[in-house]
Structure 1
Amino acid sequence: MTAWNVVLLASILVLALKIAGYLVPARLLEKPTPARVATLLTVALLSALVVTQTIQGNGGHPVSIDARLPALGVAALLLAVRAPFIVVVLAAAVVAAVLRLLGWMA
């Protein structure tokens, strides 16, 4: 099976799953539990993506710690104190840039 076959099969499966979602009755989705699960699932998936991209292996090492990790910590701290999102993004970018400039966590 080639890579293109895998991509096409995955695309067909995703489309089928999406179509199946339209077949779920609206009254079922309006209940509090499915709405809460959908909200929490979105946050969990986004968090997992951020962590995976931040602490990913490179050069044969399973885990790589670089300037993104302290930047993520600064962003989490600023989000905890309810700083505006643009401030969070800029502060995290500055922390990562300064650490890389200093050569500490390149």
Structure 2
Amino acid sequence: MSTVGMAVLGTAAGCYALKLLGLSVPAGLLDRPLIRRFAALAPIALLAALTALQTFGHGAHGLTVDARAAGLAAAGLGAWRRAPFLVVVLLAVLVTAGVRALS
């Protein structure tokens, strides 16, 4: 089996183990207000961090501002104005493409 195949099987086993661990947590623990708040806010924080890293990250130790930053700003403006999700994504794509075409 190749290295990639081993990595895929290892990742699948890890995901299954995490899912099983989540199902075995007692219900009383999940009813605590702090745990509920963490479960509600953690995905938002992780998605924001991933978005910032993919937009402004450059290599291992650098930051960059390019067309992706303009697209992110346009998406933020669309979300702030409560545009539908598809319009927000389309706005980000068009602004990013426009800035790349002009540079």
Bin for the TM-score computed over the shorter chain? 0.7 to 0.9
Per-residue Cα deviation, 1:48-101 (whole angstroms, up to 9, x for no partner): 11111111215x871222100011011112212211111111111111011011
Name the amino acid aligned to 2:69. L
Shift of 1:3: 8.0
Q: Distance in 1 between matches of 2:17 and 2:94?
A: 43
CA distance in 1, matches of 2:99, 2:27: 50
Aligned with 2:39: secondary structure? helix
Aligned partner letter, 2:78: L
TM-score by length of 2: 0.78
1:46 is matched with 47
Change (3 A) 1:87 1:9: closer
Q: Distance in 2 between matches of 1:61 and 1:29?
A: 38
Q: 1:23 to 1:90 in 2, by over 3 A?
A: same
Offset at residue 32 of structure 1 (A) = 2.9
Q: Which residue of 2 aligns with 1:17?
A: 18
TM-score normalised to the size of structure 1? 0.76
4-13 or 94-103, which deviates more? 4-13
CA RMSD after TM alignment: 2.4
Which runs of 5 or more structure 2 residues have no equivalent in the other structure?
none
The structure with the greater share of residues assigned to helix is 2
Aligned residues: 101
Alpha-carbon distance between aligned partners in 2 of 1:4 and 1:64, rounded to the nearest angstrom: 34
> Closer, same or farther in 2 for the Cα pair 1:22/1:66, shift >3 Å?
same
The match for 1:62 is 62
Aligned AA (2:44): V
Q: Whole-Å Cα distance in 1 between the matches of residues 100 and 23 of structure 2?
A: 47
2:73 alignment counterpart: 73
Identical aligned pairs, as a percentage?
43
